[in-house]
Every structure is written in C-alpha cells, then in structure tokens.
C-alpha cells in the first residue's frame, strides 16, 4: 500500500512513469556483462518484446558492459531512478539484505537444477521481496551458471590457492571463502577484473564459463578448474516506486514479458555455458583441470566453514530449505 501510494506520488510529481503526451515511458536496463551471455541476451529479448507488444507506450534502452553504470554505482542509480532495471549477480546485494548470501555458500547447490528448484519454492520466492524496505523489488531470478575457479596455476588442491590473490564480487561470504583457503580476496568491479589479472594484481578468480570466456580471461588465466563450487545467478530488480507508478495494464504486460524472457534465459543458460566451456577448451590457451571425487571433497571441506560463520545472518531456515533441493542431502 505504501509503495503504491509513494509510486503514485512519484508519478505525479516527477511524471517519470506515465506515458504522457511528451512520449513513451523509458526503461533503462543497465548491466555489466557482454551481449552474448545469458543476461546480455535476456536484456535484448526484453527490449524486443516490450517494443513489439507495448508499442508506443514503453521504450527500452539496454546498456551492456558497464557502459552506463557499473558494479560500484548501479544500485544507487536504480534507487535514484536514473535506471529502471538491473540484473546484478546475487552476490552484490549484501548491503541491502544478508539473506541473499545463501546463494554464495560454497557447495550448497549440487547443480543449476537444484538452484532452480530452490528459486521456485516458497523460501526462494520470498527472497525476491527481501529488499522492499530499500525500495528494491525483485522481479525474477535469471540463471547464469555454476562457478569455476581460474588461476595462473593448476589449483588441483585447495592448498595450492594459499598465498594467491583472487578477485571476488562484493560479498562477505566470498571473501571468507577465499580467506579460508589462506588466499587473499580482493573485491573488484567486474569491469576492472581483466586489467587486474593482466597486471598481476590478482592471480585468480571465480566465475561461470560464459563470463570466463566472454571476458577473455584465457590468455591470463591458463588454468580453469571445473569445480562447480558455487552459483552465479542474477536477480532482475527494479525501483519499487517506479514500478508501482506504472499503470496496472502496463505493469501486467511487463510482468508477462518478464516471465517469458525468464523462461528463455533460464532454459538457454546451461547450453550457453557448455558452449563457452568448449570454446575455452578448444582455444589452446587454457588447461581445463578436472577434479576427482576426492579432490572435490577436499575443496568442499576447505570452503564449507563459511556456512557456520554466516548461518546467523542468512537464517538457518533459508539454508535448510536450500539444502533440501539437492537430490542427495549435504
Ligand atoms: C555478472 O555476471 O553480472 C558479473 C559477475 C561478476 O561480477 O563476476
């Protein structure tokens, strides 16, 4: 009710979200990745469908590759209504809610299907509204994929990570995950990562195959470990005040388009990551390191202490619900 009221007020005062005589509503969608990634493709499909179906009422501008806002300023830009849609990685919301850190816990989800099941169940869906107090509404979860480790050396065992510096997203859980290995964790915006790897400021990173490939890390990260130790997924978010200032009919149509885009993104993400992995393997620049069951277990043991450290902040009910979605319990 409060959001509805403040939305109407915003629309009246600022005229941001009404298709007035002076033109259509403009939705700016900013993101930090390349167009040929699951999120990049999703943003472009959203623009296409909105323009087909909402014709002259709504216009969408997509800004990829941190070309409008980057990790450091995009959420503030959303709150200022300078941009109306973002899809940050779930690891980038910790200043607005500690609960989404559940997605950063290493070795929690067996695979992307398990992540999908959690996001569809009640606890996962509730997390979409966990930032309403900050005027951020979650509209959908978009997949990228499972995370892999990359480095200047093979990293067959967790002890090999000790002493190396790893670029991480701005997540306390990820910071602790690398500290548990005796490694240094360096929080850097996505857009600055390649340069940091090139200059040697950091020697390793973790990301999905599609990001490792599309960001061209191969020449500086000759070893990529098929660890699948965590997940890189997104929440499509909007400014709540903006969203509830839209007319009911426009919002209903946008919701339907988002459902359709989400379905397409989430269906395609796994194949896009598989293809990126194959391209990296065929590049001749990267050695893909696979882990035996024993080696994977050693990584799990080394990283898993963070579960206990963050259980209080995240909530044991949420962690418990997430554990239930694996085929076998962990
Ligand atoms: C993204 O996929 O949006 C970027 C993730 C990262 O910062 O590593």
At residue 10, the pLDDT reads: 45
At residue 55, the pLDDT reads: 87
At residue 72, the pLDDT reads: 96
- Per-residue pLDDT of the chain (330 residues), as tens digits, is 444 444 444 444 344 455 545 689 999 999 999 999 999 999 999 999 999 999 889 999 999 999 999 999 999 999 999 999 999 999 999 999 999 999 999 999 999 999 999 999 999 999 999 999 999 999 999 999 999 999 999 999 999 999 999 999 999 999 999 999 999 999 999 999 999 999 999 999 999 999 999 999 999 999 999 999 999 999 999 999 999 999 999 999 999 999 999 999 999 999 999 999 999 999 999 999 999 999 999 999 999 999 999 999 999 999 999 999 997 655
CB 131, CB 97: distance < 8 Å: yes
Ligand 1 pocket test: pick from 64, 89, 150 the residue with the most ligand atoms within 8 Å of its Cβ: 89
Report how far ligand 1's centroid is from the alpha carbon of 19 (Å): 33
Nearest ligand 1 atom to alpha carbon 144: 2
Nearest ligand 1 atom to alpha carbon 167: 8
Residue whose CA lies nearest to ligand 1 atom number 8: 190
| Structural tokens at position 112 | 């992307």
Report how far ligand 1's centroid is from the alpha carbon of 138 (Å): 18
Ligand 1 pocket test: pick from 173, 190, 193, 195 the residue with the most ligand atoms within 8 Å of its Cβ: 190
Measure the CA–CA gap between 83 and 75, rounded to whole angstroms.
Answer: 9
155-162: long-range pairs with CB below 8 Å, 24+ = 155/204, 155/223, 155/225, 155/289, 156/225, 156/289, 156/291, 156/295, 157/295, 157/298, 158/298, 158/299, 158/301, 158/302, 158/303, 161/204
At residue 22, the pLDDT reads: 61
- DSSP strand pairing (204-207 vs 184-187): unpaired
Classify burial at 142, counting beta carbons within 10 Å of its beta carbon; exposed 0-12, middle 13-18, buried 19 or more: buried
Classify burial at 165, counting beta carbons within 10 Å of its beta carbon; exposed 0-12, middle 13-18, buried 19 or more: middle
Total length of the chain: 330
Report how far ligand 1's centroid is from the alpha carbon of 33 (Å): 7
Report how far ligand 1's centroid is from the alpha carbon of 160 (Å): 24
CB 303, CB 106: distance < 8 Å: yes
What is the pTM (predicted TM-score) of this model?
0.93
Which residues' Cβ are closer than 6 Å to ligand 1? Answer: 32-33, 89, 144, 169, 190, 207, 211, 232
């Amino acid at each position: 009710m409060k959001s509805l009221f403040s939305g109407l007020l915003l629309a009246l005062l600022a005229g941001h979200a009404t298709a007035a005589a002076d033109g259509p509503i403009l939705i700016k969608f900013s993101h930090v990745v390349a167009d040929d990634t699951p999120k990049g493709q999703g943003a472009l499909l959203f623009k296409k469908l909105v323009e087909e179906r909402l014709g002259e009422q709504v216009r969408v501008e997509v800004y990829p590759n941190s070309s409008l806002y980057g990790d450091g300023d995009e959420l503030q830009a959303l709150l200022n209504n300078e941009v109306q849609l973002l899809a940050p990685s779930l690891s980038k919301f910790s200043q607005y809610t500690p609960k989404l850190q559940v997605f950063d816990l290493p070795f929690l989800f067996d695979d992307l299907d398990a992540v999908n099941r959690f996001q569809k169940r009640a606890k996962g869906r509730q997390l979409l509204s966990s930032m309403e107090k900050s005027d951020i509404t979650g509209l959908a979860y978009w997949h990228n994929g499972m995370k892999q480790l990359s480095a200047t050396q093979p990293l067959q065992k967790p002890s090999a990570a000790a002493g190396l510096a790893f670029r991480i997203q701005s997540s306390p859980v990820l910071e602790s995950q690398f500290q548990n290995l005796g490694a240094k964790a360096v929080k850097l915006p996505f857009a600055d990562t390649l340069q940091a790897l090139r200059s040697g400021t950091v020697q390793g990173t973790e990301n999905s195959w599609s990001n490792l490939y599309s960001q061209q890390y191969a020449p500086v990260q000759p070893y990529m470990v098929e660890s699948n130790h965590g997940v890189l997924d997104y929440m499509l978010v909007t400014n709540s005040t903006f969203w509830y200032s839209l007319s009911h009919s426009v919002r209903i149509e946008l919701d339907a388009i988002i459902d359709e885009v989400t379905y397409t993104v989430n269906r395609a993400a796994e194949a896009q990551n598989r293809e990126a992995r194959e391209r990296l393997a065929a590049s001749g620049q990267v050695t893909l390191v696979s882990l035996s069951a024993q080696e994977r277990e050693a990584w799990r043991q080394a990283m898993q202490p963070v579960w206990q450290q963050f259980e209080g902040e995240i909530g044991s009910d949420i962690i418990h619900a997430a554990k239930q979605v694996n085929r076998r319990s962990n």
